[in-house]
Amino acid sequence: KAGVTQTPRYLIKTRGQQVTLSCSPISGHRSVSWYQQTPGQGLQFLFEYFSETQRNKGNFPGRFSGRQFSNSRSEMNVSTLELGDSALYLCASSLAGTGLSPLHFGNGTRLTVT
C-alpha cells in the first residue's frame, strides 16, 4: 500500500505570494490532517478534514486554508506569505479520523519564504 504522498517536496516563494501544497492520503483513509513544523514552535496543528468537511482548526490566521476532495486528497493554501511561514508542512492521514487512530505522515513539503 502506498504511503502518504506530499507534493512538492520543496518550495521557495517570495513574501506576498501564495502557495498550494498537495497531499494524497493512504488509500481508504478519509481523514487528512495538516501540521506545521518549525524549530521554534515544534509541531502545530493546522486543520483536519474528514469526508470533505473541515472538522477542526488550529490557531492559525485565515491566510491558511485547506480543502479536501471527494477522493480524500487534500490541499492547503497559504496566501500573502510571510517570512514566518517558512516551515516543514506535514500532512497525515488516518483511517477513522479520531484522536485514537494512528496518524500516517508524509515526508512533508519544506516551504522557504524569502
Partner 1 sequence: AQSVTQLDSQVPVFEEAPVELRCNYSSSVSVYLFWYVQYPNQGLQLLLKYLSGSTLVKGINGFEAEFNKSQTSFHLRKPSVHISDTAEYFCALPFGNEKLTFGTGTRLTIIP
Binding-site ranges for partner 1 (CB under 8 A): 4, 6, 31, 33, 35, 42-43, 45, 48, 50, 55-56, 58, 90, 92, 97-100, 102-108
Nearest CB to partner 1, comparing residues 83 and 100: 100
Residue 114: name the closest of 86, 87, 88 by CA. Answer: 86
Strand residue runs (E) in the chain: 5-7, 10-13, 19-24, 31-38, 42-50, 53-57, 64-68, 74-78, 87-94, 104-105, 109-113
Shortest reach from residue 102's CB to partner 1, in Å: 5
At closest approach, how far in Å is the CB of 76 from partner 1? 15
In angstroms, what is the minimal distance from the CB of 88 to partner 1?
Answer: 9
